[in-house]
Chain A
Amino acid sequence: MRKIISAILVLVVLIALIACGEKSETKTQDKKETFDYQIRMDPLPFKNVLESLRPVSKELALQTPVEAYRVSENVYEQSFAIGVISADAVMAISSRDESKLKGYTEVLMEYSKNIGLKDEILRMADEIQNVLSNNDEDKWLHLEKLIINYQTEVELAFYQEEMLDQYTLMQLGGWSEGLYRISSLYLKNWDEKGAKIINQRGIVNSLINNLTLIQSTKIKEAKYYSVATEGYTMIKDIIYSVEENQFYTIEDLEKINKISAKIVESVKK
């Protein structure tokens, strides 16, 4: 079963990569003269990764913080935070904690306004509100779908607005938070097969690639940038340190946990 999932994941990553490549091409066609042609790799939305964690989703949800992740007024950091909070939101759904979700939404709305993605996030917030106000049994399922859909819309919006650096930061935030929470969970309830989920080579590679493509000097000069670049290189090393048919050790997972925690903490206010 796990093999099948892994195969699907890889397939999805590949499709995403192709799709992403096409998008960038289309986007940049008009501005060939002024805009450097770049290939940004769209990492797999971690929700898909989390799909594989469904059996432990409740435990994972409980791990998400009560207070939403907050950063300074720096808009790049806020892009990172959107990723973190979105990840938390997706993970938190299983806990059925409305107030937690509302708290996340509030901060998401605030940061998205600063970045310039106000409309998308506000629409999402309204829909979340609508879904939450219903007493449907399926409302949490709807909510999950909703957040994923909007995540896609947000990503699209980043692309459309050519805010690729912010997009990378959001991915970075989302994946780092996901990695941190997943690793924390498996460290508590050690399961070497389960821990194999961190072996998302495509994601790590695409993140490392995208980080190198960041153009903003402001980001490059920031401490979190170097922490993340170094961190993901180390994560890649750990991931690649075992063969596909082998398992990671607790130490490997601890290292990944520390690195991801350090990345998330480097931006946090």
Chain B
Amino acid sequence: MKELSNGNKKNELVDMLTRFYVHIIRSDAEIKKNEIDILYPLLLNLFKDLPISWEVYIKEIMNEEYDLVKVINFLNHNLNQLDKIRVIFTLIIMAFSDSDFEMYEISSIQSMMKYFKIEGSGYMDLMRNLELKTTAPLRITDISSIFQFENSLFTDYLVIGRSERCNMRFKDPLVANIEFVIFGIDNNYFMIAGQKPGVKLSGNELRANHIYYLPAESKIEIQKLKFNTLFVRKLMHNINNSDVINFTKSDYDFKITCEGNKFYLNVRRGYVYRNGKSVSYNRDIPIFWDDKLRIKGYAAFSLIDVLDEKERIGIDDIAPDVIFLNLDNGFYSLVKHPSEKAIAQIENRNNNYHFIPLKKSVNFLINGEEFATDKIIHLNEDIITIEDLKGSHLSLDKLSRKEDVRLGKHIKNRVKQQLRNNKNFNFRINNFFDLVEVPFEINNLEVTAVKHYHNDKSVGLDNISFNAKRGELIGILGPSGCGKSTLLKAIVAEFQPTHGKIEVDGKLLYKNRSEFMQYFGYVPQEDMIFANLTVFENMYFYGRLRMPNVPQNQLILKIDNILNQVTLAHKRNTLVGDDRNKILSGGQRKRLNIALELLFEPIVLVCDEPTSGLSSFDAEQIIELLHEQRRQNRIVIITVHQPNAYIFKKFSKVLLMDNGGKEVFFGSPSQAFAYFEEELEVIKFRKNLLEQKVKDTNPDFFYDIILFPEYDIRGNIKFEQINQQVVTKRKFSSEYWRDKYKRKILFQLITKEDTTEELKVEKKKIKYRKKLSYYARLVQFSTYLHRNLVNKLRNKTNLLITFIEAPLLALMVAYILRLAPTSDKYSFYENSNITLFLFVSIIIFVFFGMTNSIHEVLEERKFILREKVRNLKISHYHISKFMVMSIFTVVQALLYHLISSTILEIKGFFFLNVLYFSLSGLIGLSIGLLFSSFINDTKGIINILPLILIPQIIFGGAVIQFDKMNRNLTIIKQNPIPEVVQTIPSRWLFEGLVTGYSTESVNNKELLKIDKKVLTLEKSSDFSKIELMDEKYELREEVNIRYPKNKFTNKDINLIVDMMYGRFLNQKKNIFISPQKSFGGIEVKTVSVNIVIILIYIMIINLMIGIRLKYYYNE
């Protein structure tokens, strides 16, 4: 074995020791299972850090012949004392691991001990204890030093003490650096006491540098920490493990990372104390075994508790014995701990849940019936009605009066609003012990003769009729493009079909669209989740947006509950990832999409292709999840392209569709197979195959029979041309299927045969969910802001663009334009490229703004549409998006200015530059958003960029002089500037910035200050004109020395601006690049006017975006 005999002594020792063990085991006539059980962990232990696996190694030495004497001899000379002792212990444990040990085994062990020169009565005592299974700890032998473990061949040492080397660390100075070391053989543990042992073993003090045997019930006590051998087993198991344990509740969120037996605490939310001190957020803090941890409001705990309770942490009671219905600040919730807020409790007695009211002021009804003291309720089914909210109203007033209870004004308003809007509250408790509000019940969703034509006049849906009842899972099946998704969109009122009607308990869906849609959940085929947000954040933000009235802690509780339902609790803080970087699996993503809708307790849940692209396992899990929703008395309607038999059976009813939106069949899955028997009879080819599928209840049969091809007499498939395409000729056309089904319906109508039982539809008034208060709107807006910000910050490309692109371009542009025309020494004053620099910078920022925003609306189109359907304020979305992006633009402007002004030695224009660059960015951003909201095609949006940008360059005023442009561009010939130019933002930006470089220079501003000062003095003082003039000139001179023009201004800009001012004075009308503008005789600075003009531009463009998004942004 080259790998182990390459001169490395440790490797050679492992080689020899393995040979020794293998020989020992093979020396028995019969190899015992328990010996293999002991050998296996030993091999794992020995080979842990070696380049060869034990399996390969054992295979090879089995074919070799070797001299055991040589092996033992080598071991004797090279093993350290501790390893020799471990070898002996292994032999003893092997011998005593089963009841029928042989005496010769003991004598062999004794001869080995003699050979290894290991002596002492302790070994015999160990054998005796093992035989008698004594529970008292045993001192076996002494050892020269505890530190021998550091040179041991074995790696499984649990080292306890204060030292860094320890894998179970203490902080207490009374604990030795290395207090003791534990190692295990099979399930037997041995302890090596340190040099000054403070540890007690079952109450007894230990001798230094001695090895002890720890039987099953030994108790180890180190300072205040006590644990037993069972816990040692956990610790030993943990040595090579790493794990992260999440502690998440509504009031706290932290994790404990475990690397071996070293632990780190990272608090994300709430108050967690370590030894009484609050732990700061988002930092990995090492925790010692003698540390006391405490969560605010809970009992203290230590790492021992963490390991002891690991199986329970993060897992709520699956079926709690008691849960409490709380009324807290006007909101009802289920909690597991009693409190003053509890108004009822639900007790589990022999798997029956008893509902017990706790407060007389609140009256409860179960399924509309009163009851005396308690009543058994059925999870998912029974409706709990809470009546008489006067009590809570009163309690609210009482609460307000109490000094120690402060109710925020908004909370009071919310409660009052709730009280005004609702008399009774209906709830259902689902089997996840979540309180689900049932504002009203939908018993029946009836789709009648729905026909829909697309814009191109093609038929999308052709007379579809079906109904879905409470607690049913309806599967809509059909080939791709047959109109399944169109039907779903009609059901969720994304559009109104051309003909037909959809009724909810007899009420027309489209007439009450906005009310009904609050109770409809729609999960489209594509993901509706933000890639840069975590699972929790996706739920949280959407929850906050749609339910801004719900207190944050209740929302978090609800999210956690739903994440448990959809089995995503373990992925709570995982980023979702995008198509290129899918962190969540397809199934998990789909479950999250469903979870998003479940958050709002939909009465009707509609999912488009929830299983598409998933493995059959994932698909089945999704169907299970949806089946669970059905059990919770929801109506669940889904489309499935190709379900397997398992999934098919889960449907309450199936709706089979054919091309052209035609209905083929609607009924139960079992009826479906019988329905097609007639056609099965008339086919000749492939009949057996189809019959087999019927036998297997394989739903592929439906596609096979619906799309069954026509064969000629030779058995060849026939073709036909449809819509200029040659396709397989079908035996049964889609019209055939439609007509067959309609005939069936007709028959049923004529014979009054109806397979579906008639439900008494009680026409209840639809309950409106609360109108949003100002507080709720604020919450919604801030949530949008928060979501957009997090989304942007998590987008690495965006961050890279913000923090790298702007400085890089600044560096490039400024360096290229740093011109020293007359001398080697550069001066900002002499640089004739500054005007160009300003123009280029404006264009860069317009470009930045556009590229940052042009995809925004398009990329989030599906979210916008979803949120629009959910009646969210789209203006909040738009404004928050604009604000978040503005922040990035300003940061870019800052960085750009800092770099470019340093290179070009521009002084005194910080504010002006940042302001104008930011305005340029904001204009670009607004234009980008505008186009993004109008164009629905990614490629198109990229192609549009030059069309927006080039006019900004051409008409900006720096590249081509306006008077040198084609005169046909000017409508009124007297105008010096073509009218079209006035619509170009870059022209205003450029003019404002250039004139600002003249009027807003430090030099100019300081001189103006002096003029003003002298003017004031002139009016109010007794100075003579000459004295004032002298004073003025002296001050001006000082300014010109302190802020010399040749450092704080640019010659070319001064010249052009001055010239244009001269023209302004001569022509008495507004001139491009003139520093002053005149409006009705009032002269104002161009730099200021242009800011206002740009702001107006931004407002107008954003108004257009707002109108587009609110009124004209549809599918």
- What chain A residues lie within 8 Å of B1034 (beta carbons)? 218
Residues of A within 8 A of B1061 (CB): 118, 122
CB atoms of A215 and B1065 under 8 A apart: no
Contact mask for chain A residues 105-148; partner B; CB cutoff 8 A; 1 contact, 0 none: 01001100110101101111111010000000000000000000
Q: Are B1033 and A75 in contact (CB under 8 A)?
A: yes
In the complex, whether A73 has a CB less than 8 A from a CB of chain B is: yes
Q: Residue A216 at the B interface, CB < 8 A? A: yes
Whether, in the assembled complex, B341 has its beta carbon less than 8 Å from a beta carbon of chain A, the answer is no
Q: Determine if B1054 is an interface residue (Cβ-Cβ < 8 Å).
A: yes
Interface readout for B577-607 with A: 1 if CB under 8 Å, 0 if not?
A: 0000000000000000000000000000000
Contact indicator B1029/A122 (Cβ below 8 Å): no
Contact of B1037 among A73, A162, A215 (CB under 8 A): A73
Query: Contact between A163 and B1062 (Cβ–Cβ < 8 Å)?
Result: no
The majority secondary structure among interface residues of chain B is: helix
Interface size on A, residues (CB 8 A): 30
Contacts of B1030 in A (CB 8 A): 216-218
Choose one: B1037, B1059, B1065; the contact of A75 (CB below 8 Å).
Answer: B1037
B residues whose Cβ falls under 8 Å from a Cβ of A: 1007, 1011, 1024-1026, 1029-1030, 1033-1034, 1036-1037, 1040-1041, 1044-1045, 1051, 1054-1055, 1058-1063, 1065-1066
- A113 with B1037: CB separation less than 8 A: no
**A109/B1058 in contact, CB under 8 A:** yes
Minimal Cβ-Cβ distance residue in A for B1011: A116
Complex: A127 Cα to B1007 Cα, angstroms: 26
Are B1033 and A122 in touch, CB under 8 angstroms?
no
Q: Is A167 an interface residue (CB 8 A)?
A: no
- Decide if B1033 touches A125 in the complex (CB within 8 Å): no
Closest 4 pairs between A and B when the two form their complex, measured CB to CB: A126-B1062, A122-B1062, A73-B1040, A75-B1033
Contacts of B1025 in A (CB 8 A): 35, 162
CB contacts under 8 Å to B, within A153-173, are 162-163, 165
Once bound together, how far apart are the Cα atoms of A162 and B1024, in whole Å?
12
* Contact status of A73 and B1041, CB under 8 A, knowing A122-B1059, A123-B1066: yes
B1029, B1030, B1055: which has the most chain A beta carbons within 10 Å?
B1029
Question: Could you tell me if B1037 and A74 are in contact, using CB atoms closer than 8 angstroms?
Answer: yes
List, in ascending order, chain A residues with CB within 8 A of B1051's CB. 106
- The answer to whether A122 touches B1037 (Cβ under 8 A) is no
- Give Cα A198–Cα B1054 distance, bound, in whole angstroms: 39
When distances are taken between beta carbons in the complex, the residues of chain A under 8 Å from B1041 are 73
Select from chain A the residue with minimum beta-carbon distance to B1063: A126
- How far is it, in angstroms, between the C-alpha of A113 and the C-alpha of B1060 when the chains are bound? 14
Q: What are 5 A-B interface contacts by the 8 Å CB criterion? A: A75-B1033, A75-B1036, A122-B1065, A126-B1066, A163-B1029
Interface centre among A74, A75, A124, A129, by most B CB within 10 Å? A75
Closest to A163 in B: B1029
Q: A75-B1036, A110-B1054, A127-B1066 are in contact. Are A215 and B1026 (CB under 8 A)?
A: yes
> Is B1055 within 8 A of A106, CB to CB?
yes
Encode A47-85 as 1/0 by CB contact (under 8 A) with B.
Answer: 000000000000000000000000011111000000000
B168 to chain A, nearest CB (A): 78
Q: How far is the CA of A119 from the CA of B1058 in the complex (A)?
A: 9
Give A266 Cβ to nearest chain B Cβ, in Å: 18
What are the residues of chain A within 8 A of B1024 when measuring CB–CB?
Answer: 34
Q: Which single member of B1011, B1037, B1054, B1065 contacts A123 (CB below 8 Å)?
A: B1065
Closest chain-B Cβ to A103's Cβ sits at a distance in Å of 11
A118 to B1058: give the CA distance in the assembly, Å.
9
CB contacts (< 8 Å) of B1037 on chain A: these are 72-75
Q: Among the interface residues A35, A110, A126, A127, which one has the most CB atoms of the partner chain B within 10 A?
A: A126
Of B1011, B1060, B1065, which is in contact with the most chain A CB atoms at under 10 Å from its CB? B1065
Extra 13 A-B pairs, beta carbons < 8 Å, given A122-B1061, A125-B1059: A35-B1025, A73-B1037, A73-B1040, A76-B1033, A114-B1036, A118-B1058, A123-B1062, A123-B1065, A126-B1060, A126-B1062, A127-B1066, A165-B1029, A216-B1026
B1036 touches A126 (CB 8 A): no
Query: Would you give the 0/1 interface string for A207-240, flagging 1 where the beta carbon is closer than 8 Å to chain B?
Result: 0000000011110000000000000000000000
CA gap between A34 and B1028 in the complex, in Å: 14
Known contacts A73-B1041, A123-B1066, A126-B1066; is-contact A113 B1026 (Cβ 8 Å): no
